[in-house]
């Protein structure tokens, strides 16, 4: 089954609100074999909503909308959709009583405008909203002589997700199963191999021409600040076959990516670092300058990290590097804060001051100013102390200040992970 998504709200087009609903819906529907073939956002106007729904029905015959079901003047979705189906909108006393009970539970009276939320297109199935006041609606019929289905959900993310889970997905899953007949239910499933510290073009060369080996699965490269995700997708395959093919694809992609592959699906590199350190019985410290605590924040954001992470130092000023990390003044004077010698001294000082067995340090030029010909913006030195030895490496990272800092934190975690993984137990 194919379906289109129509997200309704002028705030989406202005950029003040990010459409997280669409991504959640697409994942939930793919799990039951329903493919989202198009996502469209339109303004809160009858003309835009009418055109968006009508065009989606003409292309696909099924559309799921979010937004425009509230009590305000710009909430016109159900009126417009009812008009497309040639249906009147009627007051539903039972629904109104349910809404009144909801308001009594909340301890406040409804406004006069809330009464419109008890109006329903004739023939529509009401999807009860136990998490809010705007019910969802399921309307089937004919539009311009063609059969069509419109599922209308509120735009509030929490309410939308609950209605999707409890009211919409079961109905669509039953429809897919009925269409499949006696055959095995087919699904749309994806797996992701997470890589870092390697450019997309270089990764593509390593992966090589694997599309034929993966077929009928498809492969997508998804670059981001933390690295490049390799997402492989099985389309409309029986569940068991999809899982088996995806497992083989993940193994193949991990082998091609080599040491740059640090996890799958939702794995976080900070969690992988902690698992590796925990397995080796190593406690960690961090010493940060240009990242200002991002590395420590990533590590301590993982639940249970306190048994591995002892602490760290944000040493932005040189005098703090001297006082709290024992970086010699002579090193700073001779080499500067952004240097191999300073990165080494910071990592060693963090271990010594905190009492950890391993540490990572970060010092660099995040910009937009402060760069030079010898040390352009994006220059970052990383120090790693582990197993009684210290090393340092320099990278020049692209992007603006925010991007350079985020990439530096990810690189620090990657270098620490590789050192811990390769070290002696």
Q: Answer yes or no: are the C-beta atoms of 375 and 338 closer than 8 Å.
A: yes
Average of pLDDT values for 370-377? 95
Q: Which of 61, 60, 23 is nearest to 41 (CA)?
A: 23
pLDDT of 277 higher than 90: yes
Most trustworthy range by pLDDT among 30-39, 167-176, 272-281: 272-281
pLDDT of 287 higher than 60: yes
Q: Which is higher by pLDDT, 42 or 107?
A: 42
Q: Answer yes or no: are the C-beta atoms of 230 and 207 closer than 8 Å.
A: yes
Tens digit of pLDDT for each residue in 88-120?
999 999 999 988 988 888 888 888 888 888 999
**DSSP per-residue codes, 247-286:** HHHHHHHHHHHGGGEEEETT--HHHHHHHHHHHHT--EEE
Q: Answer yes or no: are the C-beta atoms of 77 and 117 closer than 8 Å.
A: no
What is the percent of the chain where pLDDT is above 70?
98
Which pLDDT score is estimated for 181? 63
What is the percent of the chain where pLDDT is above 90?
83
Q: Answer yes or no: are the C-beta atoms of 364 and 404 closer than 8 Å.
A: yes
Task: Spell out the long-range contacts of 97-104 with Cβ–Cβ below 8 A and sequence spacing 24 or more.
Answer: 98/128, 99/133, 102/133, 103/133
pLDDT of 51 higher than 60: yes
Tens digit of pLDDT for each residue in 332-352?
999 999 999 999 999 999 999
Phi first, then psi: what are they for 171, rounded to 5°?
A: -70, -40
| Tokens of residue 38, six digits | 């198009």
The structure tokens 């015959």 sit at: 61
Which pLDDT score is estimated for 425? 46
**Which range among 48-52, 178-182, 235-239, 378-382 shows the weakest confidence by mean pLDDT?**
178-182
Tens digit of pLDDT for each residue in 378-423?
999 999 999 999 999 999 999 999 999 999 999 999 999 999 999 7
* Sign of the CA dihedral running 390, 395, 401, 403: negative
pLDDT band, residue 183 (cuts 50/70/90): low
């Amino acid at each position: 089954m194919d379906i289109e998504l129509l997200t309704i709200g002028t705030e989406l087009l202005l950029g003040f609100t990010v459409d997280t609903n669409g991504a959640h819906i697409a994942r939930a529907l793919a799990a039951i074999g329903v493919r989202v073939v198009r996502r469209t956002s339109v303004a809160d106007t009858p003309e835009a909503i009418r055109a968006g729904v009508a065009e989606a029905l003409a292309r696909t015959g099924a559309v799921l909308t979010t937004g425009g079901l509230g009590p305000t003047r710009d909430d016109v979705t159900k009126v417009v959709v009812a008009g497309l189906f040639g249906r009147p909108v009627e007051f539903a006393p039972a629904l109104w009583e349910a809404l009144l009970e909801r308001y009594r539970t909340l301890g406040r009276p409804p406004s006069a405008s809330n009464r419109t939320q008890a109006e329903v297109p004739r023939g529509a199935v009401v999807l009860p909203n136990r998490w809010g006041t705007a019910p969802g609606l399921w309307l089937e019929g004919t539009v311009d002589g063609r059969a069509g289905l419109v599922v209308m959900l509120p735009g509030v993310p929490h309410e939308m997700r609950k209605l999707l889970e409890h009211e919409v997905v079961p109905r669509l899953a039953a429809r897919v199963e009925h269409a499949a007949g006696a055959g095995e239910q087919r699904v749309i499933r994806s797996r992701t191999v997470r890589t870092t510290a390697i450019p997309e073009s270089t990764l593509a060369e390593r992966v090589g021409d694997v599309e034929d080996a993966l077929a009928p699965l498809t492969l997508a490269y998804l670059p981001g600040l933390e690295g490049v995700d390799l997402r492989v997708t099985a389309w409309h395959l029986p569940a068991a076959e999809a899982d088996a093919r995806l497992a083989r694809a993940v193994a193949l992609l991990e082998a091609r990516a080599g040491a740059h592959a640090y996890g799958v699906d939702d794995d976080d590199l900070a969690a992988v670092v902690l698992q590796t350190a925990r397995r080796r019985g190593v406690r960690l410290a961090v010493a940060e300058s240009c990242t200002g605590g991002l590395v420590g924040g990533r590590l301590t954001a993982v639940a249970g990290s306190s048994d591995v992470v002892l602490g760290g130092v944000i040493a932005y000023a040189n005098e703090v590097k001297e006082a709290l990390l024992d970086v010699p003044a002579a090193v700073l004077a001779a080499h500067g804060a952004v240097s191999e010698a300073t990165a080494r001294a910071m990592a060693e000082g963090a271990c010594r001051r905190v009492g950890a067995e391993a540490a990572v340090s970060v010092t660099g030029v995040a910009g937009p100013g402060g760069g030079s010909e010898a040390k352009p913006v994006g220059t970052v030195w990383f120090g790693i102390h582990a197993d009684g030895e210290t090393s340092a490496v320099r990278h020049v990272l692209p992007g603006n200040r925010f991007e350079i800092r985020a990439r530096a934190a990810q690189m620090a975690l990657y270098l620490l992970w590789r050192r811990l993984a390769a070290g002696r137990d």
